[in-house]
Structure 1
Amino acid sequence: MRYQPASASLYKKNRNKVIERLPSKSIAVFHSNDILPTNADGTMRFRQNNDLLYLCGIDQEETILVICPDYPEPSMREMLFIKPTSEQIAIWEGHKFTQEEAKALSGITNIKWTTDFELIFQSLMTLSKHVFLNTNEHLRADVKVQTRDARFIKDCKEKFPLHQYHRVAPMMHKFRSVKEPEEIIQLQKACDITESGFRRVLSFVKPAVLEYEIEAEYLHEFVKQGSRGFAYEPIIASGKNACVLHYIQNNGPCQDGDLILFDVGAEYGNYNADMSRSIPVNGRFSKRQRQVYDAVLRVQREAMNLLRPGISIQAYHKEIGLIMQAELVSLGLIDQTDIKNQDPEKPAYRKYFMHGTSHHLGLDVHDVGTMHDPIQAGMVFTVEPGIYILEEGLGIRLENNIVIEENGYRDLMKNIPIDPEEIETLMNE
């Protein structure tokens, strides 16, 4: 494997969380993602279903995990079904998991081929009452392609219509939102690779370089360090492009006197970093750029101190809005009249800061996890305030990834340059 996976103990621990929450006579089934087509006989790169990976660590297509804690035969209480391999498959597709390898990685002793699934599943269902099946229930999910999970739900209900069916997603969201120490290690590795990419870029950027040339520098460093590449489509936005929040064209020139906004992160072992930085193309911030940069940096530092166990994300975002409002007044972008006359549903500061400050981070970049329950120690969040002034062609966002601890936070990106004077020094070495 390109990356070093976590130990089997993590996956055993994660499965036990599910087992402890299942009612008696339950069965839970998790499927891998499909390999999706492009055109003709082309396919996209495979990306594992994150819930399955969280529970067994198997990063391979056509994988099924079945948990049936009350089954009379102990060896069938946890079963993993993997794709049968052969010499022919090895020639055309390369190495696939053997049963022994899957056992060692997942910690599951009973490994079967997927060709055995239907007959065994029939036996498990005869003694089960509650069936827990998986779906994508992310708050912002917009699923237009039928998944392997969705097909299985349809088939299962047709074959076994009298069982009691349940959603497993709510419990998975709860479990995955609080990271285990082994997961923090993977996230730190993703952040460290991201740091290497950023430091490489600081010595590369100069006037007239193209945005996609910078993207290539990041990708080179990420892959060289054992990442499969970007955690998400990277944003390399110079000048006024930085005022487009999801700018991913990355095809413009970087002009002398402009800033470049980077929103990039490396993936490592399916865990994701999510970093934003803003740097001057010519290696020196102008007075105005520095004023806005310092304002964003102050908001970020205050935001990090506000994120702590027990508070709600809603209360946190409301407080950040007030902090940003004060900074925008100081910058002369809004005034007290704007604030007095604002629509409470669309406060004045939203003209220049129109997105949220933090989201869960983990196996998904916008990771699953409730946005309504109080924050807990072990959760990982981005902290990413920004100010976007279209009329000045200036957009600045600064983003770090932090682990919430009982008495504060741990900054996974503390080594990534963010101080403006350090950035200038590194760019001019």
Structure 2
Amino acid sequence: MKYTNINNNLFIENRKRFNKNLRPKSLAIFNANDECPQSGDQTFPFKQNADLFYLCGIDQEQTILLLFPDCPNPLYKEVLFLKKTSEHIAIWEGHKYTKAEARETSGISTIFWLEEFEGLLPSIIHYADNVYLNTNENDRYVHTVPYRDLRFAQELNQKYPHFNYLRSAPIMCDLRMVKSAIEVQLTQLSCDITEKAFRRVLNFVSPGVTEYEIEAEIIHEFIRNRATGHAYNPIIASGKNACVLHYNDNNQICNNGDVILFDFGATYGNYNADMSRSIPVNGRFSARQKAVYNSVHHVMKEATKLLVSGTIWNDYHEEVGKIMEAELVKLGLIDRHDIEKQDPKNPAYKKYFMHGTSHHLGLDVHDISNRYTPFQAGNILTCEPGIYILEEGLGIRLENNILITKEGNIDLMKNIPVDAEEIEELMNVN
């Protein structure tokens, strides 16, 4: 890992909060993510299971966490199983956690090697009445791959069919939506690194540069500031490419007169930033580009005001839709007749603003959340309105990350330039 050690109080407190939600005499088991094959003997870069990391901070493959707060043997109330290193692994793969390092990282005293798991599990599980298993219940996820947690659940149910199996995911969802002070600090670090990359880009862009050259500048700044890398595949979309919401080719020349839409963010300590900005290739917006830009910025500012404790997800998005509708009328993209005849299930503004305004942010970029739970203090949400006009080859999206507190909200990206005039000033500083 490139990031510095995280205060293990984060993981100790997270386990305490999780344990309080368990039924009496319950064992909970969490697995690391799979190492996914890429080709030949290669695997894709490993990304830790967010729930396991949340509870122990171990950022390594082939890890299992057991939590059994009512276990009659105190030794097994918290147990970590780790991949055992060897001279061969050390030479070919590099350093793995020692037991001492795992204790320091997680705050868990009882550490075994993974090869001991099958032999030790019977001496632990038979003293439980309930077994909590973890699966991916993010409602954006459509199951197509038999991932490790799912396979483990099926195998355990075959070996120990007499237990009452319960779901950890609803508990994890409620816990992970509310960020602690340390989690906010880690997210802020990701936002700060993202800011540095954006300011670097503002000084780099000019007519004739390519999207991939800009992407290279971004990852350079991320890595030199100890980020793991991109929180997600970056979008560097110039001209009409900006009207493709998940454009990732990043292989075109940025032409004079076009606007570039950026959507990128750093990940630090597995906590993510998610930023969108739109800048003129030549350093100056045209009158039309600035009008569209300022409309998006207005919607962003008004939507941010709605991100407060107690706001309901669907109500929030409906209200933002009304704000966007008024801006699109002002820009001449829709008119009152379009609004009067619109299908309520597919309002007229959706032609130019077809995605949602916000999502929860955390260990996952689209963090697990319950859309029927009102926003609450400790939530971090994106705010990302956009207007996409394919016939004009123009797409504008602006996005900041907003922390809700009891006193209101805090923009974690407040220092990242966003006003159109400030963007132009910074691009023309020389």
TM-score by length of 1: 0.99
SS at match of 1:260: strand
- The corresponding residue for 1:187 is 187
SS at match of 1:149: helix
- The corresponding residue for 2:390 is 390
Aligned residues: 429
CA distance in 1, matches of 2:210, 2:90: 41
Give the C-alpha shift of residue 129 in structure 1. Answer: 1.1
- The corresponding residue for 1:163 is 163
Report the residue type matching 1:201 in the other structure: V
Cα deviations across residues 132-156 of structure 1 (Å, max 9, x unaligned)?
Answer: 0010111111232222111211110
Asked whether the 8 Å contact 1:5–1:57 carries over to 2, the reply is no
- The corresponding residue for 1:420 is 420
SS at match of 2:43: coil
SS at match of 1:69: coil
CA distance in 1, matches of 2:330, 2:226: 44
Give the C-alpha shift of residue 88 in structure 1. Answer: 2.0
1:237 matched to 2:237? The reply is: yes
Matches within 5 A, 1:187-266: 187-266=187-266
- The corresponding residue for 2:93 is 93
Structure 1: which 4+ aligned runs deviate by more than 6 Å? none
TM-score by length of 2: 0.99
SS at match of 1:112: strand
- The corresponding residue for 2:141 is 141
Report the residue type matching 1:13 in the other structure: E
- The corresponding residue for 1:307 is 307
Q: Which moved more, 1:229-238 or 1:113-122?
A: 113-122
Matches within 5 A, 1:276-287: 276-287=276-287
Matches within 5 A, 1:340-359: 340-359=340-359
CA distance in 2, matches of 1:353, 1:361: 21
- The corresponding residue for 2:326 is 326
- The corresponding residue for 2:270 is 270
- The corresponding residue for 1:65 is 65
Cα deviations across residues 244-265 of structure 1 (Å, max 9, x unaligned)?
Answer: 1111111111110010000011
Unmatched tracts of structure 2, length 5 or more: none
Report the residue type matching 2:413 in the other structure: M
Cα deviations across residues 258-291 of structure 1 (Å, max 9, x unaligned)?
Answer: 1000001111111110000000000001000110
1:375 matched to 2:345? The reply is: no
Give the C-alpha shift of residue 91 in structure 1. Answer: 1.2
Asked whether the 8 Å contact 1:203–1:427 carries over to 2, the reply is yes
1:15 matched to 2:31? The reply is: no
CA distance in 1, matches of 2:187, 2:219: 18
Report the residue type matching 1:192 in the other structure: D
Report the residue type matching 2:134 in the other structure: N
CA distance in 1, matches of 2:50, 2:277: 28
Q: Which moved more, 1:144-153 or 1:281-290?
A: 144-153
- The corresponding residue for 2:114 is 114
Asked whether the 8 Å contact 1:33–1:62 carries over to 2, the reply is yes
SS at match of 1:278: strand
Give the C-alpha shift of residue 75 in structure 1. Answer: 1.8
CA distance in 2, matches of 1:151, 1:319: 42
SS at match of 2:19: helix
CA distance in 2, matches of 1:86, 1:392: 60
Give the C-alpha shift of residue 301 in structure 1. Answer: 0.5
Give the C-alpha shift of residue 118 in structure 1. Answer: 1.3
- The corresponding residue for 1:153 is 153
SS at match of 1:21: coil
1:102 matched to 2:102? The reply is: yes
Q: Which moved more, 1:189-198 or 1:145-154?
A: 145-154
Report the residue type matching 1:49 in the other structure: N
Asked whether the 8 Å contact 1:3–1:268 carries over to 2, the reply is yes
SS at match of 1:365: coil
Unmatched tracts of structure 1, length 5 or more: none
Cα deviations across residues 96-132 of structure 1 (Å, max 9, x unaligned)?
Answer: 0000110011000111111111122111111111110
CA distance in 1, matches of 2:404, 2:106: 28
- The corresponding residue for 1:409 is 409
CA distance in 1, matches of 2:180, 2:5: 14
CA distance in 1, matches of 2:353, 2:154: 43
- The corresponding residue for 2:84 is 84
- The corresponding residue for 2:24 is 24
Cα deviations across residues 159-208 of structure 1 (Å, max 9, x unaligned)?
Answer: 10010111111110110010000001110111011011100100110111
Cα deviations across residues 4-34 of structure 1 (Å, max 9, x unaligned)?
Answer: 2321111011001111011111100000011
SS at match of 2:90: helix
CA distance in 1, matches of 2:331, 2:340: 18
